[in-house]
A and B are shown apart, each in its own frame.
Chain A
Amino acid sequence: MIASETGSGAIPMIKLKINIKIKAWPRLGRSEAAQGYFLVAPPFLYALLLLAAPLAAIVLFSFWTQDYLTLDTTLTLKNYREALSDPLYGELLLRSLVISLAVTAATVLTAFPIAYFISFSVPPSRKSMWIFLITIPFWSSYLMRVFLWKVILGYNGVLNTTLTGLGIIDEPLSFILYNANAVVITLAHAYAPFAILPIYVALEKIDRSLLEASRDLGESRVMTFLRVTLPLAMPGVVAAVLIVFIPTIGDYVTPRLVGGPNGLMIANMIQTQFLKLNNAPMGAALAVLAMAMVTAVSLVFLFLNRRYLKGQK
């Protein structure tokens, strides 16, 4: 009884409060823009605190210096000078770029046929099931999948045992684990669904009568693919490239676990600077450089995408 009484009393109070608020900002309360701001406010705050603030801190740190435990807050370009002149950092940055590009190429090139198959060959009623199947690898943790790749690619792993067992090779292959190749294989597998989905969506959006029109106008299947399907799927391909490229360049778990000494990437060095060498400013400077590199490559792709998007609804 008591609960219901307080309950019934509380509801009008809340209503009253809301009314007052709306009256106080009559325009803001009603306009759609205000509603929009209201809706994005929580995630925006979240992003501000957990993304913008740490980013600003990293940029600021990169202009400071640190000697063991004492932090010198005078602004200097010393870290950048060192990062750009020391060949070790340069090599790591370059290797990260090359590995990321290789992963991106491998992922997108293998994802395209799969997306094409689902979009063009799978009957419409089965498509959602196929998309569901594509996401099954996410049911197991990423670390598990990386470890399984070690089992597959290892010296006495599944692949080598099978190949030697079949008599195809005499000695186990060693170039497939603890080097850059292993990193590329593992990451390409991990990011495949992320590449398949945007390409699939772009392919689904293509009006099938356009393909018939191309055939009708005298083009073969191959030329129809090159002149109509591929250009129209380009936005999806570019999206896939960005989705794969941006996170892989900063990946450090995979190179640590399967990369061996020659498969390490810039993120591993950043981690080392922060946690082992107690040189957060140097790590910050490397992080900023890596971000600059990602931004530059992404801008190139965005520019390409804009060219393809131009002239499309």
Chain B
Amino acid sequence: MKDTLGVERPIIALENVEKYYGEYYALRGISAEIRQGEFFSLLGPSGCGKTTLLRTIAGFEELSGGRLTIDGKDMKRVPANVRPTNMVFQSYAIFPHLTVAENVGFGLRREPLSRDEKARKVAEALEMVGLRGYGARAAHALSGGQRQRVALARALILEPKVLLLDEPLSALDKKMREQMQTELRRLQRQVGITFILVTHDQEEALIMSDRIAVMFEGQIAQLDTPQQLYRRPNTRQVGEFIGVMNFLPATATVSDETHIEVEAAGLGRAVIAPDQLPGGWHPGQTQSVGIRPETMSILFPGETTDRRVAIGTVEDLSYYGDMTYYVVRLDGVDRPMTISMKNLVGRPVLDRGTEARVAWDARSLVLFA
């Protein structure tokens, strides 16, 4: 979807969107653009406002302030039933008094199609979600995964511009969830519709999304691609929420634009690139550095490396079979840090109390306030 200048127009634009219930602010000035055809996730802990934001897009909540446009049209006072969005509810909201086919075809009543055409569309939609031949079944006779597929088919049959998914996988067991993650991704690529997924599961968001908005307390803390979010979180809060991150007290000095020197407790001095700073930051504000567990490694006895090495002690470890998670205290640091190691052939699992030589890279450091 391009405008006259050939610039990609966002399918959804949020401009300083606010929502408050009395004194309570659920959304505090959300601004974001969601692109046509992308898989977009709203990620955050419970109560961060991600579901409220989804519901304002769907039209179930009126905005208290700001502007919301979908496909270039202002959605002020546009009720849910005429918005070009459809939703997959957390509870799936399958109509219990209707059959599977009646559920899927619910929204087709207003379409100017013959009975046969509608039946064919329903059959196609069921086929698409892998429920071929389930049409005549009663809705209550379905499993959780099947209900979810019915909810998906029911929303997609109307060919919405945007599909909204409110924690659709949270009620499924682990195996089913992983299967549905891949399937949702496949479906999204197949139909090319913009998907907006609400989830509190960071792993799910990383796996499925093109871009993720991480939300805390009614605000977007960072909006980025999964890789960028994981590798370069803007704040400590984001770094802690997505995956595991170790934090060390640090100071930074800048000598010129491309040369930033960091002094981190336990690791020593390092020179880092400007892109390792959070956006709009002065290096002088730095109070800590973050480093991911898998970017470090513990050298086994006799192993040599050309990476930087810090010395510490193994305080504790958790053996997971494929991985071992070490809790290591670097010399001169109060808080221990987590280091994950793949259990490769020939690599021993260290005992508690042994000395650990930790190899690390300046490139994997992220600076925080």
State A216–B92 Cα separation when bound (angstroms).
12
State A209–B89 Cα separation when bound (angstroms).
8
In contact, A231 and B97 (Cβ under 8 angstroms): yes
Task: For chain B, give the interface size range.
Answer: 20 to 34
In contact, B154 and A312 (Cβ under 8 angstroms): no
In contact, B96 and A216 (Cβ under 8 angstroms): no
Residue B328 lies at the interface, judged by CB distance under 8 Å to chain A: no
In contact, A215 and B110 (Cβ under 8 angstroms): no
> Chain B contacts of A218 at CB under 8 A?
81-82, 107, 109-110, 158
Q: Which of B82, B95, B140 contacts A213 (CB 8 A)?
A: B95
Known: A217-B106, A217-B107, A217-B158. A209 touches B93 (CB 8 A): yes
Known: A209-B91, A214-B106, A312-B140. A220 touches B97 (CB 8 A): no
Residue A124 lies at the interface, judged by CB distance under 8 Å to chain B: no
- A window 263-313: CB within 8 A of B: 308, 310-313
State A209–B154 Cα separation when bound (angstroms).
15
Known: A215-B81, A217-B106. A207 touches B93 (CB 8 A): yes
> Chain A contacts of B95 at CB under 8 A?
210, 213-214, 228
State A313–B82 Cα separation when bound (angstroms).
31
Residue B60 lies at the interface, judged by CB distance under 8 Å to chain A: yes
Q: Which of A213, A223, A312 contacts B93 (CB 8 A)?
A: A213
B86-120: CB near A (< 8 Å → 1, else 0) gives 11011101011111000000110110000000000
Q: How far is the CB of B106 from chain A (nearest CB, A)?
A: 5
* A209: nearest chain-B partner, CB-CB: B93
Residue A212 lies at the interface, judged by CB distance under 8 Å to chain B: yes
* B151: nearest chain-A partner, CB-CB: A213
* A210: nearest chain-B partner, CB-CB: B93
Residue B80 lies at the interface, judged by CB distance under 8 Å to chain A: yes
Q: How far is the CB of A309 from chain B (nearest CB, A)?
A: 9
* B97: nearest chain-A partner, CB-CB: A231
In contact, B97 and A219 (Cβ under 8 angstroms): no
In contact, B86 and A207 (Cβ under 8 angstroms): no
State A219–B91 Cα separation when bound (angstroms).
19
> Chain B contacts of A227 at CB under 8 A?
106
Residue A232 lies at the interface, judged by CB distance under 8 Å to chain B: yes
State A239–B96 Cα separation when bound (angstroms).
19
Known: A207-B91, A216-B58, A219-B81. A311 touches B96 (CB 8 A): yes
Residue B79 lies at the interface, judged by CB distance under 8 Å to chain A: yes
Q: Which of A212, A219, A223, A312 contacts B96 (CB 8 A)?
A: A312
Interface centre among A209, A217, A219, by most B CB within 10 Å?
A217
State A310–B91 Cα separation when bound (angstroms).
21
> Chain A contacts of B86 at CB under 8 A?
216-217
- B window 140-180: CB within 8 A of A: 140, 154-155, 158
Residues of A bordering B, CB below 8 Å: 207, 209-210, 212-220, 223, 227-228, 231-232, 308, 310-313
The 9 A-B pairs at the shortest CB distance, nearest first, are namely A217-B107, A213-B93, A209-B93, A311-B138, A215-B80, A312-B96, A216-B87, A231-B97, A215-B81
